[in-house]
Amino acid sequence: MSWLRPKQKKPTKLDSVKSSKDSLADDYSGKVLSKNNVSPQLENNLKNLSLENSVSSSIPDTPIESPQQKPFSTITSSNSGSIDGDQTLIDSTQSYPNTAKKEESERRVGILTVKIICGKSVITPNRAQFIASHYSKYKNDVQQRPFAVISFDKNEVIAAPLGGDMINPVWEYRANFDVSRKSDVTVSLYQQIEQNIPANHPSNQNSNPDAKNKPGPGKCFITVFLGKTKFTPIFNDRLIDEWYQLDVSGYIHLQYSFNKKESEKLNIDQFDLLKVIGRGSFGKVFQVRKRDTGRIYAMKVLSKSKIIIRSEVAHTLAERNVLAKINHPFIVPLKFSFQTPEKLYLVLAFINGGELFHHLHREGKFDQHLSRFYAAELLCALECLHSYDVVYRDLKPENILLDYSGHVALCDFGLCKLNMTDDKKTNTFCGTPEYLAPELLLGHGYTRTVDWWTFGILLYEMLTGLPPFYCENPNEMYRRVLEEKLTFPPGLGTRAKALIKGLLIRDPQYRLGSNGATEIKQQQFFAEIDWDLLLGKKYDPPFKPLVNSAFDTSNFEDEFTTELAEDSYIPDSNLSETVQQQFSGFSYDGSGGAFSLAQSYMVNGVNDYTKN
């Protein structure tokens, strides 16, 4: 079940499908496929096929710029030294390891307060690196001084400057963050400047000449990246007061402190419901603000009775468990979860840069440079999931969000399968029609290599605009998946074709990735990528979506955002104690680590445990 719905669904795209045996579908159409050109074995697999009404995110109808073909840009550190007195200068240019990031055994729960005070010797715009961004011909509030984006655990806060100048700006801005897991703090500086765009400017040269809403010549505003710093906060009672070195040029003065909190019983009264941003058969998705910190989140509110009726308890808990367990830069994190006798509440990072689906739909296709960037980050996310023995099973553009900076965030884990070791097989018929692997269609059982098939389909779609075997008739599409030769349109690079051919080998035993993600990373298509830098988010995204603030919901469908945001009343569900016990372990606030038997308490009359 996608948790955000696109504004304008592409008419030729089909939704996720699952058998009635294993379904998180929002809706069942009961559609019966024709038997033309379908083998009896395949026909049997398709009998219970149902189309899912997904709820997906969107972006406003504004143009998008395609970056030029170029190597990924990286930033190297400058010389360190001391700035204005006794404060220490921190060099924050160290990189992540290239392995999946596991949760540490010790957890701290509380509030992290970060204050950005001022900057010194910030790079000037004419030397800064331009980031591909949306054009806004109607934006009037041009910032002459840089603004800052403070990020912790995918929560992003925008700090406007109060004074100073371009080189030495002053912010004096304080932000509070909920801490439920270890994460880095990233502070990035940007400036929006007015720019004359000639007709022959690269911003008007698009990978798809038929792309919609291409910007024309004239004046517009461009977002300029000025540099960033990143550090891992120390969760103790001391106030940390340091100058941090930017990875381009200059320094920023930061303070931070941590206030430890005892584990609390969360409930809906601790959040302000701001807007509805999605809806499904199980409930609604709200944009919410946590009252004590002011942070903005996405909250999924699910009806227990509807979950019980559709036999989806196990899958709902699986989604919660995966999100709570995994901490990865390219996966949407779970912040909290709690329950009442009638409902389940999942509180997630609010990522409002838009779905990859909508950027791809508007652009038509991506160039190789942008496709490689997104594919590399998604490859790391899938590698992380597999390291936890989790198979994702529903990789598609609708389930990929972009954050403020332009990095991917994989979401919607309703179809994931847990405890899938290297060679373990499962037989559940589920996924999205365009991305179903041959072994799944044939009912032979499948391993986690099924994710590499969908990864290959997604890469092909990003580079060409449609999946390779696409047909509006599902039966014909399935026949093509099983029988037709893979073909490529003219102009596709040799390295890209070689990678896709390897990923779309029909026999999963010989498919690229059957021996792990490393053999995919070693392909020539990814030769220019330093995986440590990528995991450390040290590559500047080639495209940056337009997001005005953490409150911005312009990327969501108007029919939802104009709806009254209220937690609808559900009459006493009268679910038995035995049924309620099925939801044991749902609540989570980060204390003691995911899956630890750290607490047992009553939440509005429901026994609840955070357990292994």
Q: Is 587 a domain residue?
A: no
Q: Kindly give the pairing relationship between strand 185-197 and strand 218-231.
A: antiparallel
- Do 228 and 110 reside in the same domain of the chain? yes
210-260 pLDDT, tens per residue?
444 444 445 566 778 899 999 999 988 899 999 999 988 899 999 999 998
Q: Is 446 a domain residue?
A: yes
Which pTM was predicted?
0.73
Task: Count up the domains in the chain and report the number.
Answer: 2
Q: Is 266 a domain residue?
A: no
From the candidates 394, 403, 412, 451, give the one annotated as an active-site residue. 394
Bind-site residues: 300
Average pLDDT over the chain, rounded to an integer: 76
Q: Which H or E run contains 177?
A: strand 169-179
- Do 237 and 370 reside in the same domain of the chain? no
- Do 27 and 98 reside in the same domain of the chain? no
Residue 32 pLDDT > 60: no
Bind-site residues for ATP: 300
Domain-ending residue, one of 197, 231, 260: 260
Q: Residue 384 is part of a domain; what is its CATH number? A: 1.10.510.10
SS3 (DSSP) at 348: strand
Domain-ending residue, one of 502, 520, 544: 544
The residue ranking higher by pLDDT, 428 or 557, is 428
- What is the Cα–Cα distance from 338 to 326, expressed in whole angstroms? 18
Most confidently predicted of 108-112, 261-265, 379-383:
379-383
Residue 572: active-site member = no
Confidence bin at 571 (pLDDT 50/70/90): low
Domain-ending residue, one of 544, 576, 607: 544
- What is the Cα–Cα distance from 13 to 345, expressed in whole angstroms? 30
Task: Provide the domain limits for residue 526.
Answer: 3-34+355-544
Q: Is 279 a domain residue?
A: no
Q: Is 335 a domain residue?
A: no
- Do 364 and 237 reside in the same domain of the chain? no
Where are any strands of DSSP class E within 407-521? 408-410, 430-431
- Do 515 and 451 reside in the same domain of the chain? yes
The residue type found at 72 is: F
- Do 394 and 529 reside in the same domain of the chain? yes
Confidence bin at 423 (pLDDT 50/70/90): confident
Q: Is 124 a domain residue?
A: yes
Q: Is 346 a domain residue?
A: no
Q: Residue 233 is part of a domain; what is its CATH number? A: 2.60.40.150
How is residue 255 written in tokens?
């303070």
Q: Is 583 a domain residue?
A: no
Contact between 295 and 176 (Cβ < 8 Å): yes
- Do 424 and 499 reside in the same domain of the chain? yes
How is residue 408 written in tokens?
């991917």
